Amino acid sequence: MTRLSVNINKIATLRNARGGNNPDVIKVALDCEKYGAEGITVHPRPDERHIRRSDVYELKKVLHTEFNIEGYPSKDFCQLVSEVRPAQVTLVPDSPEQITSNAGWDTITHKEFLTDIVSLFKTQGIRTSIFVAADPAMVEAAKLTGCDRVELYTEPYASLYSENPQKAIIPFIEAAKVAHNSGLGLNAGHDLNLDNLKYFHSLIPWLDEVSIGHALVCDALYYGLKETIGKYLSQLK
């Protein structure tokens, strides 16, 4: 069973654009759960341009499903995660000025750094996932850090999907098999949507979780949040 974790960053972006509390990030997260989402993901950044630190603390108090916090493991980020104790932390190699994630970790070059961060969170009982490209070598090196899962960066798949889905999926199947054979859990995310998710899942059915935010929020403008979450869940059956 592949879980759907809804990334609510874009909800916070909309709220912050006008000030106040509309839309209410906490209420939307709870509604996502009510409509069937099995997790909530946030990606707080240092400038708080979408999710704020205060949102993270408030979400922890009320969520009933898995809470996933993703981000670059700076000192401030690690402190936040250590205080909140989510079910999962996903380590991404973003710089503060990036609009969105655009690459996975070089887990060979940064093995020592990542090993230290993974060790910190695992002693706190937090499942750790490392964001990587669909590269068997990066998956193998991630395993050496002691992490529990990897999350495959799926933007290259999404970009090529409409032109050649068979070609687009090949490196992801290869990386996913390496993860599976090494005992790592497997997540995926970035630009997955209602057009490409079903095919991806059908060929990598052992996925533990997909994290989807931007596309899901955009679809909700047309279908409504409840129907949209139902549509994404149906892609994972």
Catalytic residues: 43, 70, 190
Q: Residue 5 CA to chain centroid, in angstroms? A: 7
